[in-house]
């Protein structure tokens, strides 16, 4: 399965000499660090890549509300409940900014929803795992938002203006999300042995899925080379994964936790940690729709869409009536 994902020729990036003049001028602007804005000419592949990535990113934010939303009614204190509510609302906001950014590329919100509901568009693999205990909510903040920040900070410098600008606010909010997760875990590890054990169990279950958030290894990443040439991505999947491991290991140590990887060790020569290989078979299985919660997550989104039909119909009927009234008033005034 993993071998099937090894890149093909389609992943080859064309040189400036192989490009038509319009495309070459576009690439030169990218190379010079200029931002591309919605109404400007862009190669169809650039537009499609952005629509794919930004819409999948938006879907991830929206689906990402589900595992945490599951714990709002069960948060242990009023303070934790208020924090979690604010976080989940932030994720909704992130989804909305990102859908708006994708809409500037000529795709409608309804089309994006349709792609999510039909399974054509992906969303982050991480949200297909269950949140079994309160410690999972802390682990999501610490690890999942931590991985998201590592991936999203460079996206603030993405070549497409609306995406880059949306990421600025998103990254600020993600920092609070990570902080609140780490703070919740810090409180638990200082609690009873059972609470500390709950945190260790959450780390055991979320560690590997968090590493998978960065995408397949560089040899299997079909889009990275072209996306990096277009400066949509600034770093490869493996580079960001390495930075995440290096950042997180001391944080785990400070919490007194053990990262569930027997191959994890400091490598003085490379100035970073060596670590084990995530189970790529599991990753590809999850993104193919067969993870523990894929069906549940999609069902929840489809139900929300269907339950909102009466409201969308009402808005459309109201807009049509208002347009008719305006037209009638215009005729009467003539």
Residues that bind ligand BYC (CB under 6 A): 52-53, 56-57, 60-61, 64, 91, 122, 124-125, 144-145, 148, 151, 212-216, 221-224, 227, 233, 237, 287
Nearest approach in angstroms of CB 141 to ligand BYC is 8
Nearest approach in angstroms of CB 286 to ligand BYC is 7
Q: Among residues 133 and 210, whose Cβ is nearest to ligand BYC? A: 210
| Helix or strand holding residue 273 (H, E) | strand 272-274
Q: Among residues 174 and 196, whose Cβ is nearest to ligand BYC? A: 174
Q: Among residues 133 and 180, whose Cβ is nearest to ligand BYC? A: 180
Q: Among residues 42 and 147, whose Cβ is nearest to ligand BYC? A: 147
Using alpha carbons only, what angle is made at residue 136 by residues 130 and 140, rounded to the nearest 5 degrees? 95
Nearest approach in angstroms of CB 189 to ligand BYC is 21
Q: Which residues pair with 36 in a beta bridge?
A: 160
**Residue, CB closest to ligand BYC:** 64
Could you tell me the maximum CA-CA distance found in the chain, to the nearest angstrom?
83
Q: Among residues 131 and 227, whose Cβ is nearest to ligand BYC? A: 227
CA separation (Å) from 308 to 46, 111, 167, 313, 322? Answer: 33, 16, 28, 9, 21
Q: Among residues 26 and 69, whose Cβ is nearest to ligand BYC? A: 69
Nearest approach in angstroms of CB 230 to ligand BYC is 11
Q: Among residues 138 and 215, whose Cβ is nearest to ligand BYC? A: 215
What length is written for the chain?
A: 334
Q: Is 59 within 8 Å of 19 (Cβ atoms)? A: no
CA separation (Å) from 58 to 35, 54, 167, 172, 184? Answer: 21, 6, 11, 17, 26
Nearest approach in angstroms of CB 243 to ligand BYC is 13
Phi, psi of 263, rounded to the nearest 5 degrees: -90, 0
Residues 211, 294: Cα–Cα separation, whole Å: 19
Q: How far, rounded to the nearest angstrom, does the alpha carbon of residue 66 sit from its chain's CA centroid?
A: 14
Residues 278, 275: Cα–Cα separation, whole Å: 9
Nearest approach in angstroms of CB 173 to ligand BYC is 10
Q: Among residues 85 and 222, whose Cβ is nearest to ligand BYC? A: 222
Q: Which residues contact 278 (CB under 8 A, 6 or more apart)?
A: 208, 211, 212
Nearest approach in angstroms of CB 105 to ligand BYC is 15
Radius of gyration of the chain, Cα coordinates, nearest whole angstrom:
22
**DSSP states of 91-110:** HHHHHHHHHHHHHTTT--HH
Nearest approach in angstroms of CB 321 to ligand BYC is 38
């Amino acid at each position: 399965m993993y071998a099937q994902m090894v890149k093909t020729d389609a992943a080859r990036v064309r040189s400036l000499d192989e490009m038509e003049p319009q495309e070459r001028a576009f690439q030169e602007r990218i190379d010079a660090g200029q931002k591309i804005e919605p109404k400007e000419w862009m190669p169809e592949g650039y537009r499609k890549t952005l629509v794919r990535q930004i819409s999948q990113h938006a879907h991830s934010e929206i689906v990402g509300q589900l595992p945490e939303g599951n714990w709002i009614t069960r948060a242990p204190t009023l303070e934790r409940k208020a924090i979690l509510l604010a976080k989940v609302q932030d994720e909704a906001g992130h989804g909305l900014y990102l859908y708006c950014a994708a809409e500037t590329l000529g795709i409608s919100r309804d089309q994006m929803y349709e792609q999510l509901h039909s399974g054509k568009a992906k969303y982050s693999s991480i949200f297909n795992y269950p949140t079994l205990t309160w410690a999972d909510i802390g682990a999501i903040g610490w690890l999942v938002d931590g991985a998201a920040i590592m991936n999203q900070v460079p996206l603030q410098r993405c070549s497409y203006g609306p995406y880059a600008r949306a990421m600025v606010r998103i990254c600020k909010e993600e920092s609070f999300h990570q902080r609140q997760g780490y703070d919740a875990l810090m409180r638990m590890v200082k609690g009873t042995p059972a609470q500390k054990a709950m945190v260790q169990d959450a780390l055991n279950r979320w560690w590997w899925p968090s590493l998978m958030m960065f995408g397949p290894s560089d040899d299997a990443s079909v889009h990275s080379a072209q996306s990096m040439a277009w400066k949509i991505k600034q770093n490869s999947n493996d580079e960001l994964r390495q930075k995440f491991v290096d950042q997180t290991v001391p944080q785990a140590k400070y919490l007194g936790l053990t990262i569930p990887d027997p191959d994890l060790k400091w490598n003085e020569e490379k100035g970073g940690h060596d670590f084990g290989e995530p189970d790529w078979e599991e990753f590809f299985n999850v993104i193919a729709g067969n993870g523990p919660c894929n069906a549940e997550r999609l069902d929840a989104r489809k139900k929300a869409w269907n339950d909102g039909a009466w409201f969308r119909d009402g808005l459309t009927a109201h807009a049509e009536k208002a347009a008719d009234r305006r037209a009638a008033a215009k005729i009467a005034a003539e």
